[in-house]
């Protein structure tokens, strides 16, 4: 009889999350966060510094993030990618016009400062950009840890030129990259070259080394980056993306989840929906609420093993010192020939050992009785 296998449901390539379930989970999560914050505030007698009182007197958490977590059956990527992916959001995370922006560019720094200061650059966006700094000056001026911390606290959003984004972790260190709150967002500041016969035109001799886009193109790229969600692509089966804040309406959270989940699966997850195990929404200190879960446990037949193979894998592996380790394939052990006289093990001496133990106990008991009699 053939070994049984734990079969699963058929692949679901056209799977998509239910908007009603997404909205339901968003409402429940936001209600729980607000209730927990209110109870904590009342019990301590102090107002949470993250809380704000609206005009109608309702209590909200304006800075508490809401995360969407996606779990896959296999890793999304094989290695860590220093350049995060961007997914446009229907409801941007950075809507405060008073948030300061630091733009880190490729050299030369002066060319991009002139672009931001030009009349063609939008005045509203220019007012938000507090600093434009080139990569070389960044390395020279912010080499020390204290200087990096000062830069970290001076601005709310950091944007990095797409050409030097992979070198920023070495320049900014763990001050910026130990968390995802202020990691530089990649932006394309260089001018795209025209294509001829499907290929990009090569740089001509004598052409200026400054390859910057127009002020309008750079402004549009900055707006696009600010209005997007960042996805850190790592060799893991769990990916978390910030999709909103606890002060938002549930409909806004639900719409962002729909957009992020669809774009993330379609663009960045291998095998797309067949490789997705579950999608949840959660707060920083809350239980994750389910939005979508697959009915199949494995990606394909390679992940399903027979019962006999499973038993073989569960057996403990014996140590082979000085020999090549043999793979456990469930094969029968090779028959060994009879041992020679020199190889034969000595006969068991359990009886002799037990006799010696009994004699030792008797001797110790007599010594104890003699010592007790001497004390009396």
The residue extents of the domains of the chain are 14-93+228-295, 95-192+210-226
- Model confidence pLDDT, tens digit, residues 169-189: 999 999 999 888 899 999 999
How far is 92 from 243, CA to CA, in rounded Å? 9
Confidence of residue 228 (pLDDT cuts 50, 70, 90): very high
Helix (H) or strand (E) holding 66: strand 65-72
* Cβ-based burial of 236 (10 A; exposed 0-12, middle 13-18, buried ≥19): middle
DSSP of 110-144:
HHHHHHHHSTTS-HHHHHHEEEEEEHHHHHHHS-S
Checking if the pLDDT of 376 tops 60, the result is no
Predicted pLDDT at 356? 82
Phi and psi at residue 278, to the nearest 5°: -160, 160
Percent of the chain whose predicted confidence (pLDDT) is above 70: 70
Asked whether the domain spanning 95-192+210-226 has the same topology as the one spanning 14-93+228-295, the reply is: no
| Among 38-42, 49-53, 91-95, 155-159, the least confident range | 49-53
How far, in Å, are 137, 144, 168, 337 from residue 141 at the CA level? Answer: 6, 8, 14, 75
How far is 122 from 221, CA to CA, in rounded Å? 12
The mean pLDDT of the chain is 80
Domain 95-192+210-226 grouped into CATH 3.40.50.2000: no
Helix (H) or strand (E) holding 284: none
* Assigned CATH topology for domain 14-93+228-295: Ribulose 1,5 Bisphosphate Carboxylase/Oxygenase (3.30.190)
Short-list 295, 183, 187, 283, CA closest to 240: 283
How far is 157 from 138, CA to CA, in rounded Å? 16
User: Which position has the higher pLDDT, 52 or 294?
Assistant: 294
| Among 48-57, 107-116, 217-226, the least confident range | 48-57
Percent of the chain whose predicted confidence (pLDDT) is above 90: 52
Confidence of residue 205 (pLDDT cuts 50, 70, 90): low
Confidence of residue 196 (pLDDT cuts 50, 70, 90): low
Alpha helix ranges (H) inside 45-134: 109-117, 123-128
Q: Residues 275-288: what's their mean pLDDT?
A: 92
Checking if the pLDDT of 339 tops 80, the result is no
CB burial readout 103-127, b (16+ within 10 A) else e: bbbbbebebbbebbeeeebeeebee
Predicted pLDDT at 346? 55
User: Which position has the higher pLDDT, 373 or 40?
Assistant: 40
């Amino acid at each position: 009889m053939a070994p049984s296998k734990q079969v699963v449901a058929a692949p679901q390539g056209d799977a998509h999350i239910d908007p009603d379930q997404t909205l339901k989970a968003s409402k429940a999560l936001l209600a729980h966060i607000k209730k927990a914050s209110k109870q904590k505030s009342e019990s301590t007698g102090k107002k949470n510094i993250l809380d704000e009182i609206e005009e109608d007197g309702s209590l909200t958490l304006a800075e508490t993030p809401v995360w969407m977590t996606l779990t896959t059956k296999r890793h999304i990527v094989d290695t860590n990618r220093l350049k995060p992916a961007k997914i446009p959001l229907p409801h941007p995370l950075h809507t405060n016009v008073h948030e300061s922006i630091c733009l880190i560019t490729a050299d030369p720094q002066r060319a991009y400062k002139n672009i931001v200061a030009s009349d063609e650059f939008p005045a509203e966006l220019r007012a938000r950009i507090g600093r434009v700094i080139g990569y070389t000056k960044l390395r020279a001026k912010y080499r020390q840890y204290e200087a990096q911390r000062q830069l970290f606290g001076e601005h709310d959003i950091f944007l990095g030129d797409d050409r030097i984004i992979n070198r920023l972790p070495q320049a900014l260190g763990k001050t910026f990259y130990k968390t995802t709150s202020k990691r530089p967002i990649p932006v394309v500041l260089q001018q795209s070259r025209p294509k001829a016969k499907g290929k990009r035109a090569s740089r001509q001799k004598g052409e200026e080394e400054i390859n910057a886009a127009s002020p309008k193109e750079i402004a549009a790229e900055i707006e696009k980056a600010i209005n997007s969600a960042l996805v850190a692509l790592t060799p893991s089966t769990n990916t978390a993306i910030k999709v909103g804040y606890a002060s938002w309406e549930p409909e806004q959270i639900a719409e962002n989840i729909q957009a992020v989940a669809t774009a993330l699966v379609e663009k960045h997850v291998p095998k797309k929906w067949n490789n997705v195990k579950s999608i949840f929404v959660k707060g920083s200190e809350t239980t994750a609420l389910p939005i979508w879960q697959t009915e199949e446990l494995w990606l394909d037949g390679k992940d399903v093993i027979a019962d006999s193979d499973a038993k073989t894998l569960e057996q403990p592996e014996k140590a082979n010192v000085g020999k090549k380790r043999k793979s456990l394939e469930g094969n029968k052990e090779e028959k060994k020939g009879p041992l020679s006289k020199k190889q034969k093990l000595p006969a068991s001496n359990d009886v002799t050992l037990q006799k010696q133990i009994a004699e030792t106990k008797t001797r110790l008991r007599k010594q104890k009785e003699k010592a007790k009699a001497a004390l009396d």
